[in-house]
Structure 1
């Protein structure tokens, strides 16, 4: 029986999804479901789409022109999971039975709730050039940050502004998000100077951190379900 790993840290599952995208897993569908139903979903995807296959089996499928699939699970809360099913080009039931969107379809981007979405961007020449997959804030999320910047900078609480920027700097440091954080920081500086004349009280965090490669932090689905069952009220 397929007992899939469940990611427990948001940034890690975001990294692994980008890993898959860079390896040709360019079709996707996703959803949320209660923890106790995740086993049925994983079993269905294993039976019909072979999401449980290892790297050698996927490589063999590629040589035969067949699609490979990956299933990513993320524990959003004690009761709920988010899931993403990704697939490559090729023949297979996943393209027949699932309504899959392409990662390049701007109307159907792969998302993590309303906060982040996967996009393909041009990398700066000093960073190697070419194009890469990355995460960025969705339009909704970015607009919310813009409004928060405007509201805080209109006030006269320098500590609140510093705390806001600290929260902004703690967003996942993918290259697409970093660019947006830079723009929002510049906006905050302009707004603070506009309303307060100078930046003497405006304190930026020391440095916008780069995102390093993070190790897997997963728990088997069966273990999560067992723990959740033990903690359910009687």
Structure 2
């Protein structure tokens, strides 16, 4: 969820070109250093501001690693703004507005936003970036709901609703989660001839400005290298 939040943040701030991949944890630090040297992923805010003024592309590197599974790969995202620079010359970058970014069953896109009471009446509501379930993920939830409801399995229904309440709380995903609950309620009413006796799950908002949990990439790589050395046979 932290990675999804950061990708959304940078996409909404002009980093609309991207490429992604995965790498062994022991090599992640070398990759980060190479991209910082080649594309300036480690620029300060002042350096980014000046580069933008010169018409140069700014870049950002995001990485994800499961600390509970040190053998799992490090997934990385390289994001860039429009402009001149090596990143557009050397990398095959996709435009996130045309090729949707997809991550663990969710995709990033721009959706219209409903007007809020705090919005000024003379100002149009601008579409904003958000994550949504992919069609495959949404259809999987519908199938799970139908199975739970039609089997009239109380434990299965409660597990399903509990899991639905744990989906990432982005605006688009929240709307889909509550739509799925309405589908469950309608399916129950149609098959059981009554109201669904379980309340809607509470899908908590993802805090927009909440600081993401992070660890230094150097630490991840060094731990992986130490672990690899410990496993090497002694001759």
| TM-score normalised over the length of structure 1 | 0.87
Q: Counterpart in 2 of 1:208?
A: 203
Whether the 8 Å CA contact 1:162–1:203 is kept in 2: the answer is: no
Q: Counterpart in 2 of 1:19?
A: 9
Q: Write the mapping of 1:85-104 to structure 2, written as runs, cut at 5 A.
A: 85-104=78-97
Q: What's the offset of the Cα at 1:33?
A: 1.9
Q: Counterpart in 2 of 1:121?
A: 111
Structure 2 residue 157 is matched with structure 1 residue 167: no
Q: CA RMSD in A?
A: 1.8
SS at match of 2:160: helix
Whether the 8 Å CA contact 1:71–1:85 is kept in 2: the answer is: yes
Q: What's the offset of the Cα at 1:189?
A: 0.8
The answer for unaligned runs of 5 or more in structure 2 is: 120-124
The answer for unaligned runs of 5 or more in structure 1 is: 1-10
Q: What's the offset of the Cα at 1:159?
A: 2.4
Greater alpha carbon shift after TM alignment, 193-202 vs 77-86: 193-202
1:111 pairs with 92, 99, 102, which one?
102
Q: Write the mapping of 1:67-82 to structure 2, written as runs, cut at 5 A.
A: 67-76=57-66, 77-78=69-70, 79-82=72-75
Post-superposition CA distance 1:173-200 (Å, at most 9, x none): 0001011111111111111222222235
Q: Counterpart in 2 of 1:193?
A: 189
Q: What's the offset of the Cα at 1:32?
A: 1.7
2: CA distance, partners of 1:149 / 1:56: 50
Q: Higher strand proportion, which one?
A: 1
2: CA distance, partners of 1:228 / 1:220: 13
Q: Counterpart in 2 of 1:145?
A: 141
Whether the 8 Å CA contact 1:172–1:211 is kept in 2: the answer is: yes
Q: What's the offset of the Cα at 1:210?
A: 2.2
